[in-house]
Amino acid sequence: MKKFTLSMFAILFAFASFVANAQSSRAVVYADDFESYTAGDHIAQSIPEFWTTWSNAPGGPEDGVISAEQASSGTKSAMISGTNDNVLKLGNKTSGVYHVSWKMFVPTGFAGYYNFQHFEAPGNEWAFEVYFDNNGTGYMHAGGNNAATFTYTNNQWLTVENFIDLDADLAQVYFDGALIHEWQFSLQAQGEPGTKQLGGVNFYAGSTAGMTPKYYIDDVDYSAITEQFIFADDFDAYTAGAYVAVTIPEIFTTWSNAPGTAEDATFSTDFAETAPNSVKIVGTTDLVMKLGNKTSGKYLVAFDYYVPATKAGYYNFQHMEAPGNEWAFEVYFDNNGTGYMHAGGSNAATFNYTQGAWFHIDNVIDLDNDWAQVYFNDALIYEWQFSLQAQGEPGTNQLGGVNFYAGSTAGMTPTYYFDNVAYAALVEGAQDPAIGVATSPIITTIQEGNTYTQNLPITNIGEGTLEFEITKSFDMPTATNQPSGLVPSGTIGKVAPEFVVDPTPFRGDAAPANRDVTLHYDGENSTGVGLTAGAQWRAAVRFPGSMMAQYNGMYLSSVEIYINENANSHKLQVYDMGSWNVPGPGALLVEQTFDPLPGWNTINLTTPLYIGGKELWVGYWMDQPAGLFPAGCDAGPAHPDGRWISTGPGWGFLSLDYNWNIRAVLTGTAGPVWLSATPTTGELTAGQIADVTVGVNATGLEPLTVYKGKLHIRSNDFANELVNVSVWITVLVGVNENGEQAYVSMYPNPANSMMNLKANTEIKMVSITNNLGQVVYSGIVGQQEFKMDISQFKTGMYIVRVETANGTATQKLMVD
């Protein structure tokens, strides 16, 4: 893969922040805080490899001294006064990008000065001069006399930064992070043409006439800026006709994650900005460049672009690497040389471009400031708040991917090429957050009516801010025959979510009533909604864990759906809890075909679905012809979880102010909510710990019964976004002949050498079974306490059955 120099614009755009904040993007040539030298020593004499004097006379009157009078860091700095005339040698650089900085201190009543030379041998060309007057004002000769003025504070350390981009022939000077001036660097100080070369810095005891020069410098840094490429390729090393996502899978995929299919692009020799190859987008191509779900930092995504005469082009950015969830922005290239963008709003910008000619596109995404800019051939096309979605809805401040899709304005034929892709970090983002939490089961014995708490620390062992959420669920008491591993059937293509309302709606009948529990967000039916062009799509509602926990133990037995107009086919779909990071549901739990009539339809599940208390998604898939409005809706206002849609692999919200007429009917008896976690949400900076209190309340639980539940910890740790912690409790309750509450306790648990049982009634018999159902121990006890050596047991889970005078208790024992 060939790496490229960033475009002139890209380097200049982020000059200061790039260097100041992205240490890994710099190669330090020389840095010094002057602490290793002796006060009174001459500068050039002590550091001859980087310093000299104007007349090349180190150690003489021109040579400044190391001073202990002032210091920005440590105890020493370099002092320039009297006849001092030092030169910092920069090496006669003719290409590249450089950062030369230092701290500067001008005492009250004194003045300061420095200049840059185009040549290391001084006196040939003054590149620019900077004067610090003794009244806190200053001025610059840079590309012209008195080109800039500024103010500064005497008797206070000032950060001076000089950025020299020889490739772009541009210079910038910043004081304390504020831009003072930028200009064409090759011009001399008074504006005459000069040499585009970086020679040296002259720290001279100079000043405006009538003032006394004296100043100090400290913490000098001279660095070369190196582009921090994440990926760059000119595609010339590959075989023409080969699939892009198959060839470069670490960077490219397709919309449906199907490399090597009709969605995949191919390398082409039709046109190339750098011969022989480019990437061709045509027909059903739907290529995605993966950008890594960046949430901080500043990035450049650049490529060369070519649209043949009479053809059209398109690309979009996605907020999430899993496409179809949020369009960050869309760019359309029409077949007449005009174009437009949806970016923070529909038709936010328009532009012209030349067909049949290559042009360069820079997309600059500044996540730290939530800002984006698009440039064509270094000309700004548009800038806006990046977290907004393409049509203006609030979205996620995240950089997910670029979608090179064979799309266009209606009625046009999309065909275009791109070449010389570069993806670079201009400001390095923080590393991803990472969750640290113990996943070993929480196992305890508890008496009826009692409570138990245990601390569960959650730590951010990464760098970025960790966001987490905890939901709980309760296991089904016995085995279930519920389906698993289902995948949605029916193809769903990539369709822009352009939904319209039935222009002649007919208000439907009232929904069925008299159910055990009916979950919904909608009111009575009001209208119907459909896609303008027709397509296969999904509508769903989400019931979060905070709503569902109270219904654990019940069953989803039926779903009520209002169909406004029949589509070609319909399928009920029920999904498990979704991801924290990607909108939409999780695994498909139920899919069941139904043949509706217009109006309310009750779909009875072939096999009722057990409700464990987790988040639940309920909806349906439909194959809608153009011109129909199949999905029934209420009159609003919309609830965020009452209007989910999917027109492809991703999910989002219906943009209209309605809720779907979808209702989940639960039957049966709800179980107790005996498990809790506090807090249920949180944000952690790097290294921070949240102490989560896991609570168990045995009030109303059945005696001599094992209860199982789980804590589901979702977070924005993409590598480990779901952590499950099992919680198992045994409730031991009874009354002996003396009216005392009976209990059996087992400790320690987990154990590795000895197991102890203790009861306030006689333990008659103990049996232990391994996870294969094999009895590994059985014996009569006949007393209230029992100890057993388990050191020979293999690591794993065992079932301990304890028979007492008041009944039988079963507990889980973890051997580690």
> pLDDT, tens digit, for every residue of 707-758?
899 999 999 998 899 999 999 888 865 444 444 555 677 888 888 889 988 8
Residue 201 CA to residue 114 CA, distance in Å, equals: 7
Q: What is the average pLDDT across 212-241?
A: 91
Q: Give tens-digit pLDDT for 786-813.
A: 999 999 999 888 888 888 877 777 778 8
Band of pLDDT at residue 22, cut at 50, 70 and 90: very low
Q: What is the average pLDDT across 381-397?
A: 96
The confidence score (pLDDT) of residue 283 equals 97
Q: What is the average pLDDT across 60-84?
A: 97
* % of the chain beyond a pLDDT of 90: 76
Counting every residue written for the chain, the total comes to 816
**CA distances (Å), origin 325, targets 252, 343, 396, 583:** 18, 16, 10, 6
The confidence score (pLDDT) of residue 15 equals 33
Q: Give tens-digit pLDDT for 151-188.
A: 999 999 999 999 999 988 999 999 998 899 999 999 99
Residue 304 CA to residue 301 CA, distance in Å, equals: 11
**pLDDT exceeds cutoff 80 at 72:** yes
Contact, 113 vs 176, CB < 8 A? no
Dihedral pair phi/psi, residue 688, rounded to 5°? -75, 150
Q: Is the dihedral of CA 603, 607, 613, 614 positive or negative?
A: negative
**CA distances (Å), origin 398, targets 196, 204, 343, 582, 721:** 39, 48, 15, 11, 16
Contact, 333 vs 315, CB < 8 A? no
- Cβ–Cβ contacts within 10 Å for residue 555, how many? 18
Residue 596 CA to residue 116 CA, distance in Å, equals: 80
Query: Is residue 49 within a helix (H) or strand (E), and if so which, with residue range?
Result: none
Which DSSP letter does residue 24 get?
Answer: G
Q: What is the average pLDDT across 366-374?
A: 95
Mean pLDDT across the chain: 90
Residue 247, helix vs strand vs coil: helix
The confidence score (pLDDT) of residue 648 equals 86
Residue 68: both structure tokens together: 């202990």
Q: What is the average pLDDT across 423-437?
A: 88
Query: Which of 116-130, 632-646, 767-781 has the weakest average pLDDT?
Result: 767-781
Query: Is residue 780 within a helix (H) or strand (E), and if so which, with residue range?
Result: strand 775-789
Q: Which is more confidently placed, 17 or 643?
A: 643
Residue 132: both structure tokens together: 């610090």
99-135 burial string, b = 16+ CB within 10 Å, else e?
Answer: bbbbbbbbbeebbbbbbbbbbbebeebbbbbbbbbbe
